[in-house]
Amino acid sequence: MIDIQEIMSVLPHRYPFLLIDRVLATEETSITAIKNVTVNEPFFNGHFPGAPVMPGVLLVEAMAQAGGFLLLMDVEDRESKLIFFTGIDNCRFRRPVAPGDQLVFEVEIVQRRRTFAKLHGKALVDNEVVCEADLMSAMVERS
């Protein structure tokens, strides 16, 4: 398992936008990570008062962060790199995510070329798919 300190040593994201809490497993082309969703998340104040639902775009971002961790994990000079979205295809939201849910992200590299990658990600709660998408990314130099 990889804890939050090691995640922060690889990813540039910080509160309130770091959306993975722990990496459970990595393989050469796949990663499994988690996010514990609490009522204290800042987005619940406005999305929606009295009926908190995690915004779908943040589910996709969290999947992308897990994929970004996988892509950056073995890059020697990762402090000088960023992973940017270049596309999202076939995104589907299956059910709402609420406080108390534990999200499990399963992301795999479908195709990789030098600085570009295509990934397929799933977000699950209680072994039920709540979101899935094909994500495209590019690794760029930090300016």
- Cβ neighbours, 10 Å, residue 11: 21
What is the distance between the alpha carbons of residues 99 and 31, in angstroms, rounded to a whole number? 24
Catalytic-role residue among 47, 81, 94, 122: 47
Contacts of 85 (CB under 8 A, 6+ apart): 64, 135, 136, 137
What is the distance between the alpha carbons of residues 132 and 122, in angstroms, rounded to a whole number? 4
Q: Is 47 a catalytic residue?
A: yes
The torsion defined by the Cα of 76, 78, 79 and 81, in degrees rounded to 10, comes to 140
Catalytic positions, written as ranges: 47
